[in-house]
Amino acid sequence: MSLLSDPYLYPGTKVLINNFGIRDQKELDVVEANYTSLRLSDLSENPMSGSYDTNHLRAMHEYIFSDLYEWAGDFRTIDIEKPEAVLGGISIEYCAHAKINKSLEKYSSEMKSAKWFGMQREKQAEVFAKYFSLIWQIHPFREGNTRTITHFCCQYADSVNMPIDRQLFQRNSEYLRSALVAARAIFSDLGDRSQPQHLYRIVFDALR
- pLDDT score of 4: 53
Architecture category of domain 3-206 in CATH = Orthogonal Bundle (1.10)
173-183 and 121-138 helices, crossing angle to 10°: 80
**Nearest Cα to Cα of residue 154 among 87, 207, 89, 93:** 207
pLDDT in tens, 12-52: 999 999 999 999 999 999 999 999 999 999 999 999 999 99
- Rounded CA separation 24/167 (Å): 29
Yes or no: say if 48 and 56 are a contact pair by the CB < 8 Å rule.
yes
**Distances in whole angstroms, Cα of residue 124 to Cα of each of 79, 158, 168:** 32, 13, 17
Which residue, 107, 106, 111, 103, is CA-closest to 162? 111
Per-residue pLDDT tens digits for 59-101: 999 999 999 999 999 999 999 999 999 999 999 999 999 999 9
How does residue 5 score in pLDDT terms, banded at 50, 70 and 90?
confident
Any idea where the domains of the chain sit in the sequence?
A: 3-206
Cα separation, 57 vs 55, whole angstroms: 5
DSSP string, 35-87: HHHHHHHHHHHSPPPS-SSHHHHHHHHHHHHTTT-TTTTSPPSS----EEGGG
pLDDT of residue 187: 97
Strand locations in the chain (E): 83-84, 90-91, 186-187, 191-192
Q: How confident is the model at residue 208 (pLDDT cuts 50, 70, 90)?
A: confident
Note the residue count of the chain: 208
Nearest to 101 by CA among 133, 74, 66: 74
The pLDDT tens digits for 91-136 are: 999 999 999 999 999 999 999 999 999 899 999 999 999 999 999 9
